[in-house]
Amino acid sequence: MQTVLVDSEKVRCEMNSHSASLSVRQCWEQWHESDQAADEDDGLLITSINHSKDLMRMHTLRADQSCQSSADWLESNGLESAGLSLPHFLSCCAASPGTTGGQLEVSAEMLRDSEMKLYQMIELYHNRIRWLTEGSRKVFGMVRGSKVAVLVDASDVNCSTDRLIDLQRNLLDLLDKQLRHKSRICPISLGSEVASLWDKPRDTSPLRLREVREWVLQLRPSGGCNLLQALKTAWAQTEELDALLVILGSSPDQPLGLLCDVVEQAFPGREMSVHVVGYCCSNSVAIETVKKLAGVTRGSYHLFSPSLGVLDDSTDLELLWAEIKAARDVLSHIHHMRSGHMEDAEILTGVEEISLSERNSGTDHLNTPLHIQPKGLLPVTSVEWLKTNGLKAQKLGLYHVLAPNAYSPLKEFVPILGKTVTATVHERAMVPFEWHDGTVKNVHVDLPLLFHYQKQLQRAMQELERRLLWLSSTGSRQIWGTVCEPRVQILVETSSVNDRHWLHILHSLRLLLEEHLANQQSFNVTVFGTEATSWRESLVPVSPKSLQDAWQWLQGRQCAGGRNTLGALRLALEGDHLRASPTPQGLYLFTSGMPDQDVAVVSAYVAERCSTLDVRLHVCLFTAEEGSPVDPLVDTAQALRQLAQAGKGRFHWISHTGVIESDDVSALIGEMEKATHYWQKCSDLVKSLTQKASIRAPVSSQAQAASASVRSAQAGGRQEKLPPPRPTILTLKRLSNSRTVEPDKGSPQRAITWRPSSAKAVIPPANLVNGWKPVESNLKRKKVKTTQSFFFLEDGSMGMVFKAYPKPRGVRKGVTSVKLPKREEICSTKQWLKRYGIRSLRLDLHKLVSGPDCVHHKKLVPVIQQKGPAKYCAVLPSVELNGRVRHLQLTPAELRQYLTEAQRLLQRYYHRMQWLLSGSRCVFGAVLESSACFLLDVSGSMAPNLSELKRELASLIWEQLHKRRVRFTLLAFSGDVRPWRPELVEPTDEACGQAEQWLAQLTSHGGTCTLEALQVACGLGAPLGCYVISDGRPDSSCSRLLQEAERLTTGKDITVHTIAFHCRDRADKEFLKTLAHKTGGRFHCAQEDAKAIETLAACKRWESKLNEGHELTVPVFEGDDLKRLGEEMSKLMQFQVEARGFRDILLEKKNHEAT
């Protein structure tokens, strides 16, 4: 077998270079698209040809049969997935025994096979490119998604006379070849005005496709190109769309900067793929708009010139050409390997690309003179850099930006109330926000200010990323960090441990001398093993000659002895040169392990010396041996990190895999995490403002309607009759008293004469009735006439007797706006309906029309001696409710508002039901308690369903218990009881993982000892929720179990919930339901897979039907939570039907009176 020997060091350098070039693909956004059926025949039905030939043809046709985006297609057809990249190739090579120089042995057969496969992959990529440049894909590219909105530029430029016919023909071809395979489409034309063919996306039925064809043929020039309004129209239907196709042929009316800002602000959070097509875009502004729009939305773009028939540029093609280039690079490397050597290439000397080679490998490049870089500016550490370029330096702290618009809640003690009162005006008008000190402040959200702040944060993040790239741009910075001090002394460990890796250490020192030390004023080098030796007694000025002399001196050093770190530090820190110079000095310690001396002694010495001198000690730890575990080095790294902190310096840790830890990098990452946290806080503020606006919307609409009715009453209504003035004449009683007053008591006229309460006897204006709301008690009412008689007493005084009293007037109930929660509350349906039920929200229609004024009265008519209806009964329409006749006094406006509020409540009930049917709640219900014990029936009858129970329980543990921090334990019972833990445990990651492992080893056998399991569970203490999961009744007496369960839970905060898991016997379900209700718990019937999927599908169909106002039928559930919610929904839908009937009666009567 022929073999080729290749220098391993050069191969590694080339491999790392190739890996860096391939890493670009990882930044592309991943797009997903449902599979579509291809129209062309795949040729697999032909079986009369040679089998190998058929397989080769099928392999080459894979590109033609794929309808994925190039990014998704390359995930399964790229060089990485096929194992043809250079790292994969070298991993299959073996080291050549008995050779020097770190050579690899590669078989000629392997080179030949890899070369053939690479040529096949290049041909496959070319086939894919040819397929992408055919038909509608050449004009518009690949249209992703299954629910697509198509935005077509219908401006005067794009729909001109010479373009319109070609545009219509290409659009019809796009419709026939790609859009007809979608499930839904929504065509929108954008000119000066935006016009949509339908009000919402429609299914791609033959009738709808015919309408789209007619719409395409009717396209006409429509002025400008209002792209921003068209995007807003499409985004309004985000819930029904998953893809957006924008076809632009001219420049938008809006400026590019404004358009990108709006799109960038509105696009986050929308799961929608965007594909922008530049159709015949000869304008540079239009081309830039296409690319910028695709970049902002993280989508794809496609540029096509129909006049030339040329595809100018495309995201899909760029990825394929990049993969072809990578394949050709690998082929070039294989050719050099075949000739026995690698071509000279630029060596990447980053930390991740450093090869910890043997001492006798690669010595030629070390013998050459140093290539010293020209002198430049001294770099600074990341901490110093952040003082001028960080968020605080640029005044980009979130709390600094929000401080002018943040107000603390006001609390004052009100003496008349005797308690502290909190002001609510800020809470109603602003958004509560948690401040950095833990307090909550009310913040006025200025959306333009927040958007501008987020753009500044984005620029700051880009600057931080550039700093990170700069830190890794050269090998010396990756190994040593930044060398910042003007005076530098290098301390290099040369113990016997580093003997096998001395060339690697020399390579690191060479990079330091070439790239860093040219910027310093003076330097010195010290090597230490058992003894410490310096190149010079003191620091020498930096010059090419001194650097070259130091390099030659380092090449003559040998590795031997121990690791006398303290001796090297004393040699560097106890010279007289430290006090002579005022400039700071940096000590860079390059070591591979713990000092021979006690670390505490070394740290104390360094701290004492560095506190009195302007010296900083920086420590660089490197992992010398390849494959050495990292965990044993943690203690070493911790000790050396403390040593660097004692010396007021930085810590840097590298290994053969790259940079493990760096203070410079950690400071930048911390700043980036802070910026990300600020960004998330801004998003939460905007979200809170949006939710508050959605809550205020219905209230504000009602207020506007009420104010409009008041204005109309003031403008055209009749003026209310003012009440007569209060009489000022004295009554007979006051007159009699005034005549009998004694003279010494003075005149009583001053005390008994009536006077108005104000200074001026002005008649107050009449109060206006505010819309349809019921009359309040403080408004003026029409006085009821009373009959009275007067009489005189013996002493001359006058009395009065009332013969008829005014009857109390009933207060009619009105319809109020309901306030519904945005988030789901962890509670039972019974508790939830106490707050958000029909009765609690005052939406019970029967109560609204059953007040005292609605009663139908029958009185005795003396003429005919029979009971008949009152006269007013013929004025008001009558309805029958629960067997009784009631007068309908609600107005059509009130009924309309009732229907609106009922529809909102019904949609909220629908979302609550969806939440109850999602995840583990569909099988086990919601876990309400903070401590729970799950009793698992693993008897022989559970054998067919045990694997499903384990899977669902694992989902319950992570989804509910771990997420909500519920203390729990598990009990498995069959013939006996087997607890997982004898007590409740906290839901840590370790505990949840152990519980999942315990569930995996359960087996089903034996009987069902439910009573014993309950006794063990109730012994865990209170409060506790016991969840019994079983498929039937126990082996013991059911009545005895019920009595014992009631005894165990009486007087204790223990609740027993039951879950019927694949329980098909009605008697078994009734027993489990009785057991739960006896102890105040809930019964839940776990739905079978088919029924659960059918119920969820029905709920999805509800959403569209609810928005359209259709009558629906609620599915029948057996569990308590779902059953109660379903009954409440059925009741509310019945009220909606009755309210619509009442409204029709009122409108019919109104029309009859009008005629």
What gap in Å lies between CA 945 and CA 63, rounded to an integer?
A: 44
pLDDT digits (tens, 9 = 90+) for 124-139: 888 888 888 888 888 8
pLDDT digits (tens, 9 = 90+) for 867-878: 555 555 666 677
Per-residue pLDDT, averaged over 998-1026, amounts to 87
- Looking at the predicted structure, is the pLDDT value of residue 732 above 50? yes
What gap in Å lies between CA 332 and CA 245, rounded to an integer?
A: 40
Complete DSSP assignment for 139-184: HH-PPP-SEEEEEEE-STTTTSHHHHHHHHHHHHHHHHHTGGGSSE
pLDDT digits (tens, 9 = 90+) for 828-854: 888 888 888 888 888 888 877 766 556
Using 50, 70 and 90 to split pLDDT, how confident is the model at 479?
confident
Question: Backbone dihedral region of 418: left (phi > 0), alpha (psi from -120 to 50 degrees) or beta?
Answer: left
Highest-pLDDT range among 67-71, 292-296, 1075-1079, 1145-1149: 1075-1079
Pairing state between β 300-305 and 273-279: parallel
Note the pLDDT of residue 417: 76
What gap in Å lies between CA 748 and CA 619, rounded to an integer?
A: 104
What gap in Å lies between CA 1128 and CA 835, rounded to an integer?
A: 13
- Looking at the predicted structure, is the pLDDT value of residue 1112 above 70? no
What gap in Å lies between CA 448 and CA 314, rounded to an integer?
A: 34
Using 50, 70 and 90 to split pLDDT, how confident is the model at 1146?
confident
- Looking at the predicted structure, is the pLDDT value of residue 1111 above 90? no
Note the pLDDT of residue 200: 86
- Looking at the predicted structure, is the pLDDT value of residue 645 above 80? yes
Note the pLDDT of residue 630: 47
Q: By C-alpha distance, which of 992, 830, 986 is closest to 916?
A: 830
Per-residue pLDDT, averaged over 578-605, amounts to 85
What gap in Å lies between CA 1132 and CA 1120, rounded to an integer?
A: 18
**Mean pLDDT lowest for which of 240-254, 536-550, 554-568?**
240-254
pLDDT digits (tens, 9 = 90+) for 888-939: 777 888 888 888 888 888 888 888 888 888 888 888 888 989 899 999 988 8
Residue predicted with more confidence, 52 or 249: 249
- Looking at the predicted structure, is the pLDDT value of residue 470 above 50? yes
**Mean pLDDT lowest for which of 336-350, 368-382, 529-543?**
336-350
Task: Note whether 246 and 276 are within 8 A (CB).
Answer: yes
Average pLDDT, whole number, for the chain? 75
Note the pLDDT of residue 1048: 87
Task: Note whether 1076 and 1029 are within 8 A (CB).
Answer: no
pLDDT digits (tens, 9 = 90+) for 213-230: 899 888 888 888 888 888
Note the pLDDT of residue 1087: 61
Note the pLDDT of residue 1147: 82
Measured CA distances, 518 to 268, 483, 549, 875, 937 (Å): 48, 11, 14, 104, 76
- Looking at the predicted structure, is the pLDDT value of residue 650 above 60? yes
% of the chain residues with pLDDT over 90: 9
Note the pLDDT of residue 191: 87
Note the pLDDT of residue 802: 62
The total number of residues written for the chain in this structure: 1155
pLDDT digits (tens, 9 = 90+) for 573-582: 887 666 656 7
Per-residue pLDDT, averaged over 685-701, amounts to 68
- Looking at the predicted structure, is the pLDDT value of residue 47 above 80? no
- Looking at the predicted structure, is the pLDDT value of residue 525 above 90? yes
491 phi, psi to nearest 5 deg: -115, 115
Note the pLDDT of residue 364: 53
